[in-house]
Amino acid sequence: MSAKSIREYDGKAVLAYWLNRSPSISKEEYKTVSATPAVQLAQIQFPLPTLVIPAESTTYREVVEDVFAKVEQEHPWVKETKLVAKPDQLIKRRGKSGLLKLNATWDEAKEWIRERAGKNQKVQHAVGYLTTFLVEPFVPHPPNTEYYININSVREGDWILFCNEGGVDVGDVDAKARKLLVPVRLSEFPSRATIASTLLSDIPVEQHESLVDFIIRLYSVYVDCQFTYLEINPLVVIPTAKGADVFYLDLAAKLDQTAEFECGAKWAVARAPESLGIKTSGEESGAINADHGPPMVFPAPFGRELSKEEAYVQGLDAKTGASLKLTILNAEGRVWNLVAGGGASVVYADAVAVNGAADELANYGEYSGAPTDGQTYEYAKTVLDLMTRGEPRADGKVLFIGGGIANFTSPAVTFRAIARALGDYKDKLHAHKVSIWVRRAGPNYQEGLRVIREAGKKFDLPLKVYGPECHISGIVPMGLGKAPVEAEWQMA
């Protein structure tokens, strides 16, 4: 749990709902009326193609058309206005990668999406399937009305960056933008005059009042909904008789997932169909959510869609006060870690890399905070299952069951569970020639090490056991053949 990126659709939905609702952080009155037009956001989601139903298959194509039909029903406006279409999967610089369709009719937008739905797309180093798109009205505007705004959190407060240039080619905003640090203590929020003089010195004075209002409204939502990052580029400000109309064309945001207990309801209500003007057919009775509206979605980075196993571990993690993490780095890799502790797991990943096996490191993961026997067993089975898939490699594989000296997690409990999992996978572990290296200490670690050594003997696995006398990651160079094998731990 930490600050996590959200989709543009969700970010815009939260802004649209809360911009006129979040209590103002400023002690001064707003000078202009916020004239945000009705929310028009269409999220278009396709299923992930599978081996059975690939993107090219007739079945998949039919699904795509069904989704389009539903969009037309829920968002009748798509047929009445020119549109923007783009994938909404945390991809940066979409414009530069040709992933932006501007000024399109609904038929043109459909055709553009149809060509891409379910297809593999390479963006910089990452490759992923395009499955989620965002369609919204196209806002024609002269180029000199594009601006850039960014709010991001640091230890001392929140930086607001404002730049009188915007758009795809904004360049080095860090150098160009005007900056204002808002202190953590909100009672010290800067005055309207300060905001205008610090951030808007390059902007015509007649637009100041409406822009200051927009910045305060935006920042109030940022605080109220516990964003940790928010970038709008371009922000379009079109002068009007009363001041200016403000449009946020492209948006990237992160929310603090740990604040879900405070803000979950706010995130949800902004995304409820009623709030978004979605015409539902009425009879759709789905599952009942905890809040009014669907729970916020925190998608994995592009090209890093959660595998079934990662999602499973994430599910386990969400249901417990303990911590269970799993990220697959290279499913074909020969080095696997089953390590306890947030810090120790990083030390193990470092040790594998330092010993020249970074490319062979299959996973990053950790379990900590005294997980139960059942949780540890499920976690260990998931890792063992992943590492014993496919054709066995001639050079075999290595499993490090590692960890530091626990403060309160009992290695006796967790190792009993891991030993059981080893038993379940003993044949596969043999087939893949997995050598196992164990290092751990903490409360009753003697029993833990004894149990796992017994399991090694019982299942005839090549398993070596070390305790606190060995450096925390001392088994890594030994296991990778980079250091001589030392004498194993012995029961006192």
Partner 1 sequence: MAGSVDKPSYELFSKDTRAFVYGMQTKAVQGMLDFDYMCGRTVPSVAAIIYTFGSQSISKLYWGTKEILLPVYRTIEEACTKHPEVDVVVNFASSRSAYASTMELMEFPQIRCIAIIAEGVPERRAREILVTSKEKNVVIIGPATVGGIKPGCFKIGNTGGMMDNIVASKLYRPGSVAYVSKSGGMSNELNNIISHTTDGVYEGIAIGGDRYPGTTFIDHLIRFEADPACKLMVLLGEVGGVEEYRVIEAVKNGTIKKPIVAWAIGTCSSMFKTEVQFGHAGSFANSELETAVAKNQAMREAGIYVPETFEKLPALLQEVYEGLVKKGVIVPQPEVAPPNIPLDYAWAKELGLVRKPSSFICTISNDRGSELTYNNVPISKVFEEELGIGGVISLLWLRRRLPSYATKFLEMVLQLTADHGPCVSGAMNTIITTRAGKDLISSLVAGLLTIGTRFGGALDGAAQEFSKAYDAGLSPRAFVDSCRKANKLIPGIGHRIKSRNNPDLRVELVKGYVKKNFPSTKLLDYALAVENVTTSKKDNLILNVDGCIAVCFVDLLRNCGAFTLEEANEYINLGILNGMFVLGRSIGLIGHHLDQKRLRAPLYRHPWDDFLYLS
The contact set with partner 1 (CB under 8 A) reads 1-3, 125-126, 153, 155, 157, 183-185, 223, 226, 228, 256, 258-259, 261-262, 301, 303-304, 323, 325, 327, 329, 340-347, 349-354, 358, 361, 364, 366, 368-369, 372-374, 403-408, 410, 412, 441-444, 446-447, 468, 471-474, 477
Residue with tokens 């626990």: 406
CB 254 within 8 A of CB 3: yes
Secondary structure letter of residue 390 according to DSSP: S
Q: How far apart are CA 490 and CA 467, in angstroms?
A: 9
Q: Which is nearer to partner 1, 54 or 183 (CB)?
A: 183
Q: Which is nearer to partner 1, 281 or 408 (CB)?
A: 408
The distance of closest approach from Cβ of residue 389 to partner 1 in the complex, given in angstroms and rounded to an integer, is 20
Tell me how far, at minimum, the Cβ of 288 lies from partner 1, in Å. 22
**Cα distance between residue 305 and residue 52, in whole Å:** 18
Q: CB of 151 within 8 A of CB of 219?
A: yes
- Name the minimum Å distance from CB 131 to partner 1: 18
Please report how close the Cβ of residue 330 comes to partner 1 at its closest, in angstroms.
8
Nearer to partner 1, 62 or 469 (CB): 469
Q: Which amino acid is at 259?
A: A
Question: Which C-beta is closer to partner 1: that of 299 or that of 443?
Answer: 443
Pairing label, strands 335-337, 132-137:
unpaired
CA distance 313 to 328: 11
Minimum CB distance to partner 1 smaller for 309 or for 447: 447
d(CA 157, CA 163): 20
Three-state SS for 227? Answer: strand
First to last CA, the chain: 40
* φ, ψ at 258 (rounded to 5°): -65, -15
**Beta-sheet strands, E only, within 46-125:** 83-87, 101-104, 120-123
Place of tokens 């940022």: 222
Least distance in angstroms from the C-beta of 258 to partner 1: 4
Q: Shortest distance, CB of residue 98 to partner 1, whole angstroms?
A: 22
How far is 82 from 60, CA to CA, in rounded Å?
Answer: 27
**Nearest to partner 1 of 102, 259 (CB atom):** 259
Nearer to partner 1 by C-beta: 2 or 281? 2
Nearer to partner 1, 404 or 456 (CB): 404
Q: Taking the CB of residue 292, how many other CB atoms lie within 10 A of it?
A: 12
The CB-of-338 to partner 1 minimum distance in angstroms stands at 14
Residue 454 Cβ, how far from partner 1 at the closest point, in Å? 14
